Structure 1
Amino acid sequence: MKTLVKVHKKLHLPTKLCPVCDRPFSWRKKWEKDWDNIKYCSHRCMTNRKQV
């Protein structure tokens, strides 16, 4: 009899730090094609970024 082991694949996702809130955020499926260009963790951080 085989035992089934749950594998948590989401533990090994790439992460980045948001420059606005300094919190880490993980890769999401909807960002798959554009992950290299993602800088902010949320729309809120994107709109509240510091204007230089």
Structure 2
Amino acid sequence: MPRGVAKRDLPTKTCPVCQRPFAWRKRWERNWEKVIYCSDRCRRAGK
């Protein structure tokens, strides 16, 4: 029996820099509302 949630069922956002969708990660659990960029590279390029 698989545990957890399927990746297709996780919430997603679109990165404003690269315009790609990215999915929720366990690391972002506490501050998902504040996550804007999909990666450090996009965060640096966005400023």
TM-score range with shorter-chain normalisation?
Answer: 0.7 to 0.9
Which of 8, 20, 25 is 2:17 aligned to?
20
Instruction: Quote the Cα distance in structure 2 between the aligned partners of 1:10 and 1:40.
Output: 19
Give the structure with higher Rg (CA). Answer: 1
Aligned pairs, number: 46
- 2:34 aligned partner: 37
Gapped regions of structure 2 (runs ≥ 5): none
- Which string of whole-angstrom CA distances, capped at 9 and with x for unpartnered residues, describes residues 1-52 of structure 1? xxx6x57622200000000000000000000000000000000000001x4x
Q: Which runs of 4+ in 1 moved over 6 A?
A: none
- The Cα RMSD (Å) is 1.8
Gapped regions of structure 1 (runs ≥ 5): none
The TM-score with structure 1 as length reference comes to 0.77
Structure with greater proportional helix content: 2
